[in-house]
Amino acid sequence: ETGVTQTPRHLVMGMTNKKSLKCEQHLGHNAMYWYKQSAKKPLELMFVYNFKEQTENNSVPSRFSPECPNSSHLFLHLHTLQPEDSALYLCASSQEGGATGANVLTFGAGSRLTVL
Amino acid sequence: AQSVAQPEDQVNVAEGNPLTVKCTYSVSGNPYLFWYVQYPNRGLQFLLKYITGDNLVKGSYGFEAEFNKSQTSFHLKKPSALVSDSALYFCAVSRGDYKLSFGAGTTVTVRA
């Protein structure tokens, strides 16, 4: 275990459903991230929270809505998704999300999302 | 803008042979370079990083990487590959902030 736990590991949803992905870290980190991983494409940074404040929204469609109630928990709320949103969604954390340069990310195992 | 290119989708080597996974980058200013590995059904795991100093960086599991500023490259190497090294490898670059840009990944297969 890496210290970053994601649930559920697999999710199948219809285009009209509402679901949420959950991420929890037990590392005492202050920054949390959502990445999208699609086959044979670079990882896409979606959102960054640093000390519970959102510091990055990488032009993500509004059908993805993040929530960070505290430094240990991060959610990704999903609503009216499209089939092309099917991917592996990775959560990561780091000591902090500022300009440290040496920021090493610790990743969860991911949530495999399939949109029908 | 910053970006990473991993020119090979797949690398196949025999166990015991040297392994090289290529990475070139583009970034303004001094680069901060990273390698991560992803095993099946797992998230990415940190292998090593280059921030400054010696161009040869040593990391986990016997891996090392060489920073070459003139060629804007940061190739990952292992002198003697193991079957257990079979995985998906990602190179990443940042300008020193939290925005890591990853490559598309290289699948390494080590045959016994």
Residues of chain B with pLDDT > 70: what percent? 100
Mean pLDDT of chain A: 90
pLDDT digits (tens, 9 = 90+) for B38-56: 998 888 999 999 988 889 9
pLDDT digits (tens, 9 = 90+) for A44-79: 999 999 888 888 777 899 999 999 999 899 999 999
Beta-carbon contacts of B82 under 8 Å, excluding residues fewer than 6 positions away, are B15, B110
Are B45 and A98 inside 8 Å of each other by CB?
A: no
| Cis status of the peptide bond prior to A61, with omega within 30 of 0 | no
Residues of B in contact with A98 (CB under 8 A): 97-98
Distance separating alpha carbons of residues A79 and B72, to the nearest angstrom: 41
Q: Count CB neighbours of B14 within 10 A.
A: 11
A66 close contact with B: CB closer than 8 A: no
Of B43, B102, B105, the CB nearest to A110: B43
A21: which strand partners?
A: A76
pLDDT for B92 beyond 80 = yes
A109 close contact with B: CB closer than 8 A: yes
B51 close contact with A: CB closer than 8 A: yes
Distance separating alpha carbons of residues B65 and B21, to the nearest angstrom: 9
